[in-house]
């Protein structure tokens, strides 16, 4: 639903993870691990796999096949496109705008 | 570092990896397997080998499941998107028209294939729509009674005969009086057969005499005029008014509303027409049409009887339908009827001892509880047959579309690479599938109309007008159309979607070879299924055809040559008993004196009609399970001439003679009767029934009585000089043809008294055809559908071989250039098709053996595993299949090796 206008939560997380990992390490398995270690929750690898394909299809992410720097078989590395980065920024702005009115410390407990 | 420590295994266990591979969607396999391997490595480095394996094992289910879900979602999303784009106006319409024309052009280009697909669908849809429309009209339609779920049919029984018998009028009055609070209304009706119209050209109608509250209790509003009112519940003969059936009104009065108030003659008396029933209400019994309704108090007049049938508590024959009072369930009604039964037993011990009453919800009854038991399996059987035909037709469509999808992969790839949009491609394929199905549906509609008309021409040989206004059932048409569109989408659109979907990630390896092989295998499976279903239908038709032949050549034990039967109804004709007695005597005498007529006999129950007539007989020393110790025996009142006319020889004792019946009460019995009850000889022994003690004076040969397939049945013959009979069947034989004998017989019967109504006038051939009706219908229908199935399967085989020829052009070219002869090429190609056929035949024979035992009860003289059928049908199928495979195979033999090797 409305996948063109906004980012779904999973897509948003996945894009963030690719940025955090950097262009040299953002392959699917690494993204799964990154999401798990940062959020502390288990992540379904298939969800990440599907999200990456959808992002690529809708032009929000792009990928490149290349061997890793340390050698071995080629892997597909993902990163957000300009359109993807714009959407991420918008998403973030909306969240921060919504959070900014709240009392400090709300929801922490 | 970490990698060094865990170097003992480089990846997830091989067995797990293989399982994962098998479960993943093929398009995602390679990429997804690599990602999973990566994840396993990362996990192993962090948590160790065992934890990584555990995780992998969990993903075995989760990962593929999510990917498959995603694929299905994408398919639907694409289909919905393209439907949406289609639905939008502007350029969408132009594109739609373009797609439509393109689809037409494509269908036109492969005319043979298109015609086969459309015709298959038309046959499947047509057969189902026609059959369901008939079954639905006869059995499933609930008349729109007001609050119809509140209605119950009430039956009575003294347990000596059927559980679902009818009522006597005095009993109904008691029921009405005592059932306050249980039933809010009790309506009664009695069927009669009467002559209507002028005496010179009387016509026979089935009518119903109904209580004045009939239409009100049932909740049937009048189409025109009024229903009967309390003034029509007066004393006997006091209300000569009538309500016409809608069809009768149209036929007799051309739908003129001024018919109300006009007189209408029934059995020589004018009735004033007060109302016209709505079109949907055709009387108390669905499938039968009541021509007119008169008040119950006119029953004596319409039946032409002297006695008032409403007075005797023992005179049963009235059907009761009641409306349950608010809050009373069917079970509660039955519980109350139980107590009603006890009360009635006490009050009227002579007539109502042990009489039970049953209520069944009207909506749960199709025709009658006894008939339903036989009808439901027959209807189910017919529906199963047409469903098989639809299945075979859908398989042809599927096969067709699979072949197209394959051809189309390349076209689609080219169009995609030239920048065509996915949704446009899908829309165009959708248009083509829908076009195909619509054309098939239209053809089906036409076929169904024709089939229903043809079915209606085949009337069951019963002398009652059936309710035959059958319109096509729109729901079935839409349902079958839906099934075929769904088949079209599954087999046409899904391969297309696959073809248009960009590879998920990377790997643009060409897998068309593997896919093509998969599809060919799928088509092979479809043809196998077609062949096996055809075998089932053909074996069925073979069994019924053989059964029909057996029945036709079976000996009924009576004369079946040139002759005629007529059935004068003196009571309906308005003759008094005195006139009647004189009529019968004169008829016999004048027929005997008619040139060309040699034999005349009377009976009231011709053998092998559709009727059954039994009497409770007490035979000394013979046990019975009836409470009164009597045994139900088939019987007939017959004249002395009957036995010579029908060639039933007297085996011992004497036959009937003129004057029998005037003095001592006597009877003849059949050979089977003697064997069963008086093995020491029946002549001279006595039995008790009908009318008291009777002495058996002779034993005659056995004849078939009810059905041609029955074992010799004990039968009792009574001399019909004993009492007056209002109706008799008159059998004549002579020197001319059956037609001449019939004409002469009818002429004499009407010359004596033109008032006489003949219920039946037919040649002996026509009469004995009656018992062949069920096997003939079964054989006819099964042969038609079996033939269809065979045709469809042959087309399927032709398609498969044709396709494999086209695919193996290069291979064949190579073989020919290496010296293969035309014959060996044909053998090769035909052989590839026949393997599929052989497998299908084997599967089909197993299924047919199962189906055969299911229909064993309908067969006569043929075992369900009849060797002739079970060998003949496979041979027939193999010969037809060889033919179907031969044509395309011959083309393979004509392949020019040079050309073939040049094509890629």
Answer yes or no: do B486 and B527 share one domain.
Answer: yes
Q: Is residue B359 part of a domain?
A: no
- A65–B506: do the CB atoms touch at under 8 Å? yes
In angstroms, the separation between the Cα of residue B14 and the nearest Cα of chain A is 19
Give yes or no for a contact between B777 and B457, defined as CB atoms under 8 angstroms apart.
no
Query: Of all helices (H) and strands (E), which one includes residue B743?
Result: helix B738-752
pLDDT at B278 over 80: yes
Q: Is residue B97 part of a domain?
A: no
Question: In chain B, pLDDT over 90 holds for what percent of residues?
Answer: 23
Q: Is residue B358 part of a domain?
A: no
The residue segments making up the domain with residue B875 are 374-553+773-902
Q: Which residue of A has its CA nearest to B60?
A: A46
pLDDT at A3 over 50: no
Answer yes or no: do B661 and B736 share one domain.
Answer: yes
> Which residues of B fall within a CB distance of 8 Å from A62?
none
pLDDT in tens, B773-798: 777 777 887 788 888 888 877 877 77
Answer yes or no: do B524 and B401 share one domain.
Answer: yes
CA distances from A24 to A65, A77, B504 (A): 11, 7, 22
Answer yes or no: do B529 and B618 share one domain.
Answer: no
Euclidean distance between CA atoms B682 and B335, whole angstroms? 47
Answer yes or no: do B525 and B601 share one domain.
Answer: no
Answer yes or no: do B524 and B599 share one domain.
Answer: no
Nearest residue, CB atoms, A46 vs list B38, B63, B505: B63
Give the pTM: 0.60
Give yes or no for a contact between B401 and B492, defined as CB atoms under 8 angstroms apart.
yes
Least confident of B417-421, B449-453, B535-539: B417-421
Give yes or no for a contact between B465 and B117, defined as CB atoms under 8 angstroms apart.
no
pLDDT in tens, A68-109: 877 778 888 999 999 999 999 988 888 888 888 777 777 665
Q: Does B3 touch chain A (CB under 8 A)?
A: no
Answer yes or no: do B754 and B782 share one domain.
Answer: no
> Which residues of B fall within a CB distance of 8 Å from A76?
31, 505-506
Residue where a domain stops, chosen among B61, B87, B113 = B87
Q: Which residue of B has its CA nearest to A53?
A: B504
- Give the range with max mean pLDDT: A61-70, B232-241, B665-674, B800-809: B665-674
What would be the CATH architecture of the domain defined by A9-99?
Orthogonal Bundle (1.10)
In angstroms, the separation between the Cα of residue A11 and the nearest Cα of chain B is 15
DSSP H helices in B231-311: 246-253, 299-303
Q: How many CB atoms lie within 10 A of CB A60?
A: 23
- B39–A33: do the CB atoms touch at under 8 Å? yes
Q: Is residue B815 part of a domain?
A: yes
Listed residue (A20, A16, A25) closest to A69, CA to CA: A25
pLDDT at B497 over 70: no
- Give the range with max mean pLDDT: B394-403, B451-460, B499-508: B394-403
Answer yes or no: do B784 and B725 share one domain.
Answer: no
Token output for B15 = 């067995």
Average pLDDT over chain B reads 81
Q: Is residue B94 part of a domain?
A: no
Nearest residue, CB atoms, A45 vs list B35, B65, B70: B35
Mean pLDDT of B871-890: 87
Answer yes or no: do B782 and B822 share one domain.
Answer: yes
Listed residue (B217, B80, B35) closest to B493, CA to CA: B80
What pLDDT, on the 0 to 100 scale, is given for residue A1?
Answer: 37
Q: What are phi and psi of B273, to 5 degrees?
A: -80, 120
Answer yes or no: do B389 and B425 share one domain.
Answer: yes
- A46–B41: do the CB atoms touch at under 8 Å? no
Q: Which residues pair with A75 in a beta bridge?
A: A66
Euclidean distance between CA atoms B654 and B775, whole angstroms? 37
pLDDT in tens, B662-671: 888 999 999 9
Q: Does B32 touch chain A (CB under 8 A)?
A: yes
In angstroms, the separation between the Cα of residue A87 and the nearest Cα of chain B is 23
Euclidean distance between CA atoms B772 and B610, whole angstroms? 11
Euclidean distance between CA atoms B298 and B776, whole angstroms? 41
- B38–A47: do the CB atoms touch at under 8 Å? no
Q: What are phi and psi of B224, to 5 degrees?
A: -155, 145
- A53–B504: do the CB atoms touch at under 8 Å? yes
Band (B556; pLDDT cuts 50, 70, 90): confident
Query: Of all helices (H) and strands (E), which one includes residue B184?
Result: strand B183-196
Q: Scanning the structure block, which residue is given the tokens 């969990």?
A: B58
Cβ burial, residue B139 (10 Å; 0-12/13-18/19+): middle
pLDDT in tens, B609-624: 766 777 778 888 888 7
Domain count along chain B: 4
Token output for B151 = 């209605």
- B35–A63: do the CB atoms touch at under 8 Å? no
DSSP per position, B836-853: HHHHHHHHHHHHHHHHHH
What pLDDT, on the 0 to 100 scale, is given for residue B449?
Answer: 82
Q: Is residue B102 part of a domain?
A: no
- A46–B42: do the CB atoms touch at under 8 Å? no
Helix (H, G, I), strand (E, B) or coil at B212: coil
Q: Is residue B751 part of a domain?
A: yes
Residues 6+ apart with CB under 8 A from B185: B213, B216, B217, B322, B323
pLDDT in tens, B746-770: 999 989 987 787 777 889 988 888 7
Nearest residue, CB atoms, B505 vs list A33, A73, A76: A76
Answer yes or no: do B548 and B572 share one domain.
Answer: no
What pLDDT, on the 0 to 100 scale, is given for residue B509?
Answer: 39
pLDDT at B258 over 50: yes
Nearest residue, CB atoms, A47 vs list B34, B66, B502: B66
Listed residue (B541, B550, B549) closest to B852, CA to CA: B541
Angle at B368 between CA B366 and CA B369, to 5 degrees: 95
Mean pLDDT of A2-23: 81
Euclidean distance between CA atoms B185 and B321, whole angstroms? 9
Q: Which of residues 57-116 of B touch A (CB under 8 A)?
A: 59, 62-67, 70
Residue where a domain stops, chosen among B59, B87, B115 = B87
What pLDDT, on the 0 to 100 scale, is given for residue A108?
Answer: 64
What pLDDT, on the 0 to 100 scale, is given for residue B336?
Answer: 93
Residues 6+ apart with CB under 8 A from B87: none
Q: Is residue B158 part of a domain?
A: no
Answer yes or no: do B869 and B799 share one domain.
Answer: yes
Euclidean distance between CA atoms B886 and B880, whole angstroms? 10
Helix (H, G, I), strand (E, B) or coil at B403: helix
pLDDT at B819 over 90: no
**Percent composition of chain A: helix, strand, coil (DSSP 3-state, to 5):** 50, 10, 35
């Amino acid at each position: 639903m409305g996948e063109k206008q906004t980012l779904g939560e999973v897509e948003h997380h996945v894009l963030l993870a690719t940025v955090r990992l950097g262009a040299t390490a953002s392959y699917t398995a690494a993204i799964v691990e990154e999401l798990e270690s940062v959020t502390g929750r288990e992540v379904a690898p298939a969800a990440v796999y599907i999200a990456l394909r959808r992002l690529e299809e809708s032009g929000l992410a792009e990928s490149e096949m290349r061997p890793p720097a340390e050698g071995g078989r080629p892997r597909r590395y993902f990163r957000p496109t300009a359109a993807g980065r714009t959407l991420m920024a918008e998403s973030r702005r909306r969240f921060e705008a919504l959070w900014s009115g709240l009392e400090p410390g709300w929801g922490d407990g | 570092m970490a990698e060094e420590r865990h170097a003992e295994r480089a990846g997830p266990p091989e067995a797990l990896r293989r399982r994962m591979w098998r479960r993943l969607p093929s398009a995602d396999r390679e990429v997804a397997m690599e990602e999973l391997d990566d994840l396993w490595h990362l996990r192993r480095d962090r948590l160790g080998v065992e934890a990584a394996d555990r995780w992998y094992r969990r993903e075995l289910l989760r990962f593929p499941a999510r990917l498959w879900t995603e694929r299905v979602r994408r398919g639907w999303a694409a289909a919905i998107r393209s439907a949406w784009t289609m639905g939008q106006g502007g350029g969408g319409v132009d594109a739609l028209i373009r797609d439509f024309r393109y689809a037409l052009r494509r269908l036109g280009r492969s005319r043979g294939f298109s015609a086969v697909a459309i015709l298959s669908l038309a046959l499947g849809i047509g057969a189902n729509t026609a059959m369901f429309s008939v079954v639905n009209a006869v059995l499933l339609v609930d008349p729109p009674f007001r609050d119809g779920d509140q209605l119950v049919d009430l039956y009575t029984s003294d347990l000596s005969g059927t559980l679902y018998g009818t009522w006597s009028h005095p009993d109904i009055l008691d029921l009405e009086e005592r059932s306050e609070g249980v039933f809010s209304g009790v309506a009664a009706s009695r069927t009669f057969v009467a002559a209507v119209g002028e005496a010179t050209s009387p016509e026979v109608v089935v009518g119903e005499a109904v209580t004045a509250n009939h239409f009100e209790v049932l909740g049937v509003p009048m189409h025109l005029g009024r229903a009967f009112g309390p003034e029509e519940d007066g004393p006997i003969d006091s209300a000569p008014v009538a309500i016409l059936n809608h069809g009768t009104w149209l036929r007799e009065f051309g739908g003129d509303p001024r018919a109300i108030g006009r007189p209408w003659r029934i059995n020589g008396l004018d009735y004033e027409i007060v109302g016209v029933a709505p079109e949907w209400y055709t009387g108390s019994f669905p499938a039968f049409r009541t021509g007119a309704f008169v008040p119950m108090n006119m029953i004596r007049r319409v039946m032409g009887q002297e006695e008032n049938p409403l007075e005797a508590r023992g005179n049963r024959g009235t059907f009761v339908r009641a409306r349950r009072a608010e809050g009373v369930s069917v079970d509660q009604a039955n519980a109350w009827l139980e107590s009603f039964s006890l009360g009635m037993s006490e009050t009227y011990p002579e007539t109502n001892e042990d009489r039970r009453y049953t209520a069944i919800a009207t909506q749960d009854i199709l025709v009658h509880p006894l008939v339903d038991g036989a009808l439901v399996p027959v209807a189910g059987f017919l529906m199963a047959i047409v469903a098989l035909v639809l299945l075979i037709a859908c398989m042809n469509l599927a096969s067709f579309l699979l072949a197209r999808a394959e051809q189309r992969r390349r076209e689609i790839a080219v169009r995609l690479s030239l920048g065509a949009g996915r949704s446009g491609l899908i829309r165009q394929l959708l248009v083509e599938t829908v076009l195909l199905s619509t054309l098939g549906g239209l053809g089906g509609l036409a076929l169904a109309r024709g089939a229903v008309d043809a079915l209606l021409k085949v009337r069951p040989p019963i002398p009652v007008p059936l309710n035959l206004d059958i319109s096509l059932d729109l729901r079935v048409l839409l349902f079958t159309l839906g099934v075929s569109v769904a088949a079209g989408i599954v087999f046409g659109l899904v391969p297309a979607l696959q073809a248009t979907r960009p590879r998920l990630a990377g790997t643009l390896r060409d897998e068309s070879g593997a896919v093509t092989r998969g599809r060919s295998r799928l088509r092979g499976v479809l043809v196998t299924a077609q062949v096996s279903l055809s075998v089932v239908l053909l074996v069925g038709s073979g069994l019924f055809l053989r059964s029909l032949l057996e029945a036709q050549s079976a000996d009924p034990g009576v004369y079946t040559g040139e002759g005629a039967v007529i059935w004068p109804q003196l009571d309906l004709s308005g003759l008094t008993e005195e006139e009647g007695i004189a009529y019968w005597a004169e008829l016999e005498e004048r027929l005997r004196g008619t040139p060309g007529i040699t034999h005349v006999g009377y009976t009231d129950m011709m053998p092998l009609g559709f009727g059954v007539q039994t009497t409770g007989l007490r035979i000394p020393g013979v046990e019975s399970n009836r409470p009164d110790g009597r045994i139900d025996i088939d019987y007939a009142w017959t004249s002395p001439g009957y036995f010579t006319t029908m060639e039933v020889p007297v085996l011992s004792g004497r036959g009937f003679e003129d004057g029998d019946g005037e003095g001592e009460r006597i009877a003849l019995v059949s050979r089977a009767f003697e064997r069963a009850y008086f093995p020491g000889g029946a002549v001279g022994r006595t039995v008790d029934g009908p009318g008291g003690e009777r002495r058996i004076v002779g034993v005659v040969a056995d004849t078939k009585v009810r059905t041609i397939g029955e074992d010799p049945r004990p039968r009792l013959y009574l001399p019909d000089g004993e009492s007056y009979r209002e109706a008799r069947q008159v059998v004549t034989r002579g020197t001319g043809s059956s037609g001449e004998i019939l004409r002469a017989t009818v002429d004499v019967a009407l010359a004596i008294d033109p008032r006489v109504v003949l219920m039946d006038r037919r040649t002996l051939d026509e009469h004995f055809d009656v018992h062949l009706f069920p096997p003939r219908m079964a054989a006819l229908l099964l042969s038609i559908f079996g033939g269809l199935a065979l045709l469809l399967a042959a087309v399927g085989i032709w398609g498969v071989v044709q396709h494999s020829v086209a695919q193996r052009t290069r291979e064949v070219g190579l073989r020919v250039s290496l010296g293969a002869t035309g014959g060996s090429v044909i053998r090769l190609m035909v052989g590839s098709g026949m393997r599929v056929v052989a497998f299908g035949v084997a599967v089909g024979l197993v299924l047919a053996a199962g189906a055969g035992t299911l229909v064993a009860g309908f067969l006569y003289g043929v075992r369900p595993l009849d060797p002739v059928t079970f060998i003949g049908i496979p041979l027939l199928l193999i010969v037809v299949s060889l033919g179907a495979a031969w044509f395309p195979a011959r083309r393979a033999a004509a392949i020019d090796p040079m050309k073939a090797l040049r094509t890629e």
